[in-house]
Amino acid sequence: MNIKELLDNEVCTRNQDCELTYDKPDPLLVASRYKDEYIILLCALFAYGKASLIVKFLDSLDFSLLEQSEQEINKALDSFYYRFQNSEDIKTIFKTFKRLKQMDSLNNLFLSAYKKENNVLEGIDFLIKKIYEVSNYNSQGFTFLVSSAFKRDKNNNIKEIGNAPYKRWNMFLRWMVRNDSLDLGLWSGINKSDLILPLDTHTFQVSQKLGLLNRKTYDLKSALLVTEKLKEFDNNDPIKYDFALYRIGQEKII
């Protein structure tokens, strides 16, 4: 069986809502209960570490706090922490998203930067900068959660080498832009052919094993290279293979 066949078969069986269960936890299990882009972004940003622990933490959060006062947020999240984030970091991200929500939709903010060259990285970069601007806060845990703005070259272009793959942001975009039994498709104005593979260490290794990538460095450049390779299988929707690649790695299929 060739790689395209293997992946197409996996997509057929994997891109279904029955793949999202507590037996096979994924942060999308929690995110898919909501239609609110800010809640869904919170689910994506906290999606690092062991999948079962991510889901457990997300299940413990009261997302209706985004509609409540900052005093309420401070009180409710006082003892919350998750891995690298202390309660101050968690309170701040909730308060920031509450403020942003009153200003504009994430979709609009993203589009304002994406539209210039149909570049999703510019959209991500704009949202990250906006979060820092509105939060007016900095800590190690907060920076890990939100990520830093992209490093740029002297012509102000985002560097392919020297930047991380921004896996959680690209996963959020997959959820919001693609629309099938798995992904939510709540955003408009973005072409799914512009999406970038949310490369994590699992999909990085699987991509190498399958011959989709022969680079040794785990970075943005590698994410872009695998995405280009997947476009050979489906030019219009290369990222439909993401979940299949992730599960192939997680379940040690190869």
Nearest 5°: phi and psi at 191?
A: -85, 125
Q: What is the mean pLDDT of residues 135-158?
A: 97
Report CA Rg, the chain: 18
Task: Report how far residue 241's alpha carbon sits from residue 254's, in angstroms, rounded to the nearest whole number.
Answer: 15
Q: What is the mean pLDDT of residues 124-139?
A: 98
Angle between helices 37-45 and 106-114 (to 10 degrees): 70
194-232: per-residue pLDDT in tens?
A: 999 999 998 999 999 999 999 999 999 999 999 999 999
103-121: per-residue pLDDT in tens?
A: 999 999 999 999 999 999 9
Give the amino acid at 172. F
Task: Report how far residue 200's alpha carbon sits from residue 215's, in angstroms, rounded to the nearest whole number.
Answer: 14
151-201: per-residue pLDDT in tens?
A: 999 999 999 999 999 999 999 999 999 999 999 999 999 999 999 999 999
pLDDT for the residue numbered 17: 85
19-71: per-residue pLDDT in tens?
A: 889 988 999 999 999 999 999 999 999 999 999 999 999 999 999 999 999 99
Task: Report how far residue 168's alpha carbon sits from residue 53's, in angstroms, rounded to the nearest whole number.
Answer: 16
Nearest 5°: phi and psi at 85?
A: -105, 125
Predicted TM-score (pTM) above 0.95: yes
Q: Is 236 helix (H, G, I), strand (E, B) or coil?
A: coil
Indicate the Cα dihedral angle 233, 235, 240, 245, nearest 10°. Answer: 40
Task: Report how far residue 117's alpha carbon sits from residue 128's, in angstroms, rounded to the nearest whole number.
Answer: 18
pLDDT for the residue numbered 250: 81
